[in-house]
Amino acid sequence: MRNRYIVSYDISDARRLRRVHRTMRGFGDALQYSVFRCDLSPAERVLLIEALVKVINQREDQVMLINLGPRDGHVQEGIETVGRALDRDDDRVAVVL
- Buried-state track 65-96, b at ≥16 Cβ within 10 A, e below 16: beebeebeeebeeeeeeeeeeeeeeeeebeee
**pLDDT tens digits, one per residue of 48-87:** 999 999 999 988 999 999 888 887 776 555 566 565 565 6
pLDDT of residue 15 exceeding 50, the answer is yes
Q: Please, what is the average pLDDT of the chain?
A: 83
pTM confidence score: 0.77
Provide the pLDDT for residue 69. 86
The CA distance from 77 to 44, in Å, is 24
pLDDT of residue 5 exceeding 80, the answer is yes
pLDDT of residue 96 exceeding 80, the answer is no
Provide the pLDDT for residue 74. 63
Domains of the chain: 3-70 (3.30.70.240)
Provide the pLDDT for residue 76. 57
The CA distance from 64 to 38, in Å, is 12
**Please, are residues 90 and 46 in contact by the beta-carbon 8 Å criterion?**
no
DSSP assignment of 52-65, as one string? HHHHS-TTT-EEEE
